[in-house]
Chains A and B, each alone.
Chain A
Amino acid sequence: MRAMSTKLKVWWAVITVLVLVYALLPVLSIIATSFKLPSQLNLGTFWPKTWTTTNYEQILTGSAKDLFLPALRNSIGISLISTAIAVVLATLAAYAIARLDFRGKRLVLTTALGVSIFPVISIVTPLFNLWRNIGLYDTWLGLIIPYLSLTLPISIWTLAAFFRQIPWELEQAAQVDGATPWQAFRKAIVPLAAPGVFTTALIAFFIAWNDFVYGISLTSTSAARPVPAALAFFTGASQFEEPTGAISAAAVVVTIPVVILVLLFQRQIVSGLTQGAVKG
């Protein structure tokens, strides 16, 4: 029995190491590349021979600053605004779907499903043309609007599923106590639903943050171009230099906050969702 459990332990250790390598190796490789000297990029080693922050200086204060910093601002601003709009609309819609009995409920859900599988590239061609005509091309609003096609459907589905698990007796109690449906929603349900809304906002934000097709198609300058699109337009410090280091550094800068959010997101799922609903 003892030998068996040791064997099992080794087995699980091997599996864990394999999963960790799978999940982390590509991330580590781009982090390692971001610390390499531009002249040592072609050594073919995994880790840098000489560690340097040159690439970070280049994107934060150096020659690539004007490419990267506006893109970072655009990405954060546009993703946050479209997430906020989507979550507000989706919260209202998901409440109605989870709680109220009305005709067209399935229609709303089916539409959300249809929109979420819609090929983005099919929307881009007409929007490209229209945005150029009405002046939305290369503006924040010109990306916020199409981003709703990414953030809104997933928000509705996630929230509707979450709202179905909420202890609704509290709302009934509030209504029995004389609250209107709207008051019951605001006073009894919103505090319970907040963790789910927050989680949904994170998921929607990731999706907007991840967008590339809209980003390269509907912008042309640093006025609205988000980070993923900007990465594709990076150039080296000189025309003989590959932008590998700068791109890797920029990739790390935009990845670390999201990975931190993923960790917070986990804690949110485990304690926030389950305990938050009970403790209020």
Chain B
Amino acid sequence: MSTEVQTRTQRTSGRPPKVVRSDRARAEGRLGWMLAGPAFVVMLAVTLYPILQAMYDSLYSYRLTAPADRKFVGLNNYGVVLTDQVFWDAMGVTTFIMIVSVVVELVLGFALALVMHRAIKSLRGLLRTAILVPYGIITVVSAFAWFYAFDINSGFINHWFAWIPGVENLNWFAHQGTSLFVIIASEVWKTTPFISLLLLAGLAQVPTELEEAAEVDGATWWQRFTRVLIPNMKAAIMVAVLFRALDAFRIFDNVFIMTNGANGTRVLSLLAYNTSISRLEIGLGSAISVLLFLCVILICFIAIKLFKVDLASARGSS
């Protein structure tokens, strides 16, 4: 656009184009901030302000049950949280859920993306519609669906799989391992469509000539997959993984509905909720909130510095 403006001004007036352009640039900058400013301010107001407030509150011993006793304690709340085994247990469970669900989603999402990519046109529409169904389901509804399916009283899973030794009378939500299995299953079911659509977009960007050339050269299906497709989709894969990892790290709904943190399934978000909202310990809850926020930043930092994920470009192109 600027070149067109430039040639037009050169045609119509004798002034150096640079001055005209900077005038225009200034007007454009003003308009840009007039249009983008409100959204920018609102985004800061709804996140930056609360997190600063949480940082401030985390320095005080502050319970809503005894607001008059509020006093400055420095970093004491962080000391309490970080030396509490409950926090580290929650950290462990959260990390476990994050890693397992992201790995499963990546494999499953890739399979779905390849299926949609290869499917003939008439099937592709059907498949895409089908896998968009989980995407349109509320997480809480997904949690209830999976919970009722596995529930020892009302569920059908124990009946269907009664032939597997030990399943018929298995109370899935009485043990840590089996609870986490169902929680992760619900999480994976609901979010794999998102990951597979991101990967499908990545697949579409791999030039077909590359694959054809590899095929002509006698590469096996697996070689084409690992040597041609994956290296050419690295950006799409990394972005999908990072987004899902951050999302899984904040897991709350599935755990709250299915176990409410019982039997060693309490995740960090639930711990923060229990501390601030249920027990009204604003000081301690704020400290956990800030720590959770720092964990998310750390994950991002690792992804961007170590794995060189270029979030902006990949997200914008998809």
Q: B-facing mask of A78-102, CB < 8 A → 1, else 0?
A: 0000000000011011011100111
Most A CB contacts (10 A, CB to CB) among B46, B289, B293 go to: B46
Asked whether, in the complex, the Cβ of B43 is within 8 Å of the Cβ of A113, the reply is no
Asked whether, in the complex, the Cβ of A228 is within 8 Å of the Cβ of B128, the reply is no
Assuming the contacts A42-B153, A93-B39, A262-B136, asked whether A102 and B312 have C-beta atoms less than 8 A apart, the reply is no
**Is B23 positioned at the interface, with any CB of A under 8 Å from its CB?**
no
Asked whether, in the complex, the Cβ of B136 is within 8 Å of the Cβ of A92, the reply is no
Assuming the contacts A97-B36, A108-B40, asked whether A30 and B148 have C-beta atoms less than 8 A apart, the reply is yes
Asked whether, in the complex, the Cβ of A228 is within 8 Å of the Cβ of B140, the reply is yes
Asked whether, in the complex, the Cβ of B32 is within 8 Å of the Cβ of A120, the reply is no
Asked whether, in the complex, the Cβ of B154 is within 8 Å of the Cβ of A217, the reply is no
Asked whether, in the complex, the Cβ of A23 is within 8 Å of the Cβ of B138, the reply is no
**Is B316 positioned at the interface, with any CB of A under 8 Å from its CB?**
yes
List the A side residues contacting B29 at CB < 8 Å: 100-103
List the B side residues contacting A93 at CB < 8 Å: 35-36, 38-40
Task: Tell which of B126, B141, B277 touches A16, judged by Cβ atoms closer than 8 Å.
Answer: B126
Q: How far is the CA of A103 from the CA of B140 in the complex (A)?
A: 41
Q: Which of B173-181, B207-215, B250-258 contacts A (4 or more CB under 8 A)?
A: B250-258
Asked whether, in the complex, the Cβ of B123 is within 8 Å of the Cβ of A217, the reply is no
Assuming the contacts A19-B112, A125-B272, A259-B133, asked whether A89 and B144 have C-beta atoms less than 8 A apart, the reply is no
Q: How far is the CA of A255 from the CA of B120 in the complex (A)?
A: 29
Residue of B nearest to A244 (CB): B154
Residue of A nearest to B38 (CB): A89
CB distance from B47 to the nearest CB of A (A): 5
Within 8 A of B (CB), among A193-222: 206, 209-210, 212-213, 216-217
Residue of A nearest to B29 (CB): A102
Asked whether, in the complex, the Cβ of A90 is within 8 Å of the Cβ of B276, the reply is no
List the B side residues contacting A157 at CB < 8 Å: 315-316
CB distance from B135 to the nearest CB of A (A): 7
Q: Which of A50-58, A59-67, A144-152, A271-279 contacts B (4 or more CB under 8 A)?
A: A144-152
Asked whether, in the complex, the Cβ of B144 is within 8 Å of the Cβ of A251, the reply is yes
> Interface size on B (CB < 8 Å)?
92
Asked whether, in the complex, the Cβ of A119 is within 8 Å of the Cβ of B269, the reply is yes
Assuming the contacts A125-B276, A210-B139, asked whether A242 and B154 have C-beta atoms less than 8 A apart, the reply is yes
Within 8 A of B (CB), among A139-193: 145-146, 148-149, 152-153, 156-157, 160-161, 164, 168, 172, 181-182
Assuming the contacts A100-B28, A101-B28, A121-B273, asked whether A29 and B141 have C-beta atoms less than 8 A apart, the reply is no
Q: How far is the CA of A168 from the CA of B2 in the complex (A)?
A: 13
Asked whether, in the complex, the Cβ of B149 is within 8 Å of the Cβ of A26, the reply is yes
Assuming the contacts A42-B153, A128-B276, A244-B154, asked whether A148 and B42 have C-beta atoms less than 8 A apart, the reply is yes
**Is B110 positioned at the interface, with any CB of A under 8 Å from its CB?**
no
Asked whether, in the complex, the Cβ of A106 is within 8 Å of the Cβ of B312, the reply is yes
**Is B51 positioned at the interface, with any CB of A under 8 Å from its CB?**
yes
List the B side residues contacting A129 at CB < 8 Å: 53, 57, 64, 282
Asked whether, in the complex, the Cβ of B156 is within 8 Å of the Cβ of A118, the reply is no
Asked whether, in the complex, the Cβ of A90 is within 8 Å of the Cβ of B39, the reply is yes
Binding site secondary structure of chain A: helix
Asked whether, in the complex, the Cβ of B139 is within 8 Å of the Cβ of A212, the reply is yes
Asked whether, in the complex, the Cβ of A16 is within 8 Å of the Cβ of B127, the reply is yes
Asked whether, in the complex, the Cβ of A19 is within 8 Å of the Cβ of B130, the reply is yes
Q: How far is the CA of A26 from the CA of B189 in the complex (A)?
A: 9
Q: A-facing mask of B16-48, CB < 8 A → 1, else 0?
A: 000000000100110111011011101110110
Task: Tell which of B40, B50, B135 touches A111, judged by Cβ atoms closer than 8 Å.
Answer: B40
**Is A231 positioned at the interface, with any CB of B under 8 Å from its CB?**
yes
Asked whether, in the complex, the Cβ of A255 is within 8 Å of the Cβ of B137, the reply is yes
List the B side residues contacting A103 at CB < 8 Å: 29
List the B side residues contacting A1 at CB < 8 Å: none
Asked whether, in the complex, the Cβ of B148 is within 8 Å of the Cβ of A248, the reply is yes
**Is B233 positioned at the interface, with any CB of A under 8 Å from its CB?**
no
Task: Tell which of B31, B127, B252 touches A96, judged by Cβ atoms closer than 8 Å.
Answer: B31
Q: How far is the CA of A258 from the CA of B140 in the complex (A)?
A: 14
* Residues of chain A at the chain B interface (Cβ within 8 Å): 12, 15-16, 19-20, 22-24, 26-27, 29-30, 33, 41-42, 44-46, 89-90, 92-93, 95-97, 100-115, 117-130, 132, 145-146, 148-149, 152-153, 156-157, 160-161, 164, 168, 172, 181-182, 206, 209-210, 212-213, 216-217, 227-228, 231-232, 242, 244, 247-248, 251, 254-255, 258-259, 261-263, 265-266
Write 20 A-B pairs (CB below 8 A) sorted by A numbering.
A16-B127, A22-B131, A45-B159, A92-B39, A97-B36, A100-B29, A100-B32, A102-B36, A108-B40, A112-B39, A113-B315, A125-B277, A125-B286, A126-B53, A149-B46, A157-B315, A161-B315, A161-B317, A210-B140, A217-B273
Sort A-B residue pairs by CB-CB distance and give the 9 closest, nearest first. A102-B32, A126-B53, A96-B35, A93-B39, A122-B289, A228-B140, A102-B29, A262-B136, A89-B39
* Residues of chain B at the chain A interface (Cβ within 8 Å): 1-2, 4, 25, 28-29, 31-33, 35-36, 38-40, 42-44, 46-47, 50-51, 53-54, 57, 64, 112, 115, 119-120, 123, 125-142, 144-146, 148-149, 153-156, 158-160, 186, 189, 193, 243, 246, 249-250, 252-253, 256-257, 268-269, 272-273, 276-277, 282, 285-286, 289-290, 292-293, 296, 300, 311-312, 315-318
Inter-chain pairs besides A101-B29, A120-B269, 17 sampled, C-beta below 8 Å: A16-B126, A19-B115, A42-B153, A89-B42, A93-B39, A100-B31, A109-B312, A110-B312, A118-B47, A121-B272, A124-B273, A125-B272, A153-B43, A160-B316, A251-B140, A254-B141, A266-B125
